[in-house]
Amino acid sequence: MSRKRVLVVDDENAIQAVIQGCLEDIAGWEVLLASSGQEGLQLAEAQNPDGILLDVSMPQMSGIETFQKLQANFATQYIPVIFLTAKLQPEDRAQFSQLGILGVLAKPFEPMNLVYQVANIFGWEV
């Protein structure tokens, strides 16, 4: 089985570090980091990751805008996306599912469970 590559797009360095540590140390996946929606779009197109963890609330370009741009690009539209959000209301879940998001993870998350949650949503084995 090939090693999975996950792009993490989040404007908080501490969140990036926790996610990267969990996914690399526990699952052995390669983690790419982007601090903005624009950087995430560029990395997604250049690196073609197996999946993307995308923060909803970011300055300049929100996660929803970033996701819409990913969907509009032929090179990135098939990459599965999981939203990361600190604000998760029932109406948010409904909106996210209409967008075609594969899943949503609430922040803060339990680092030791993160790999299994991500693998479960993406349908990967750990």
Distance CA 85, CA 57 (A): 7
pLDDT tens-digit map of 66-102:
999 999 999 999 999 999 998 777 777 778 878 889 9
pTM for this predicted structure: 0.95
Q: Which residues in the chain land under pLDDT 50?
A: none
Give how far Cα 14 sits from Cα of 18, 65, 95, Å. 6, 23, 27
What is the chain's mean pLDDT, rounded?
93
Distance CA 35, CA 26 (A): 23
Given this model, what pLDDT does residue 1 score? Answer: 54
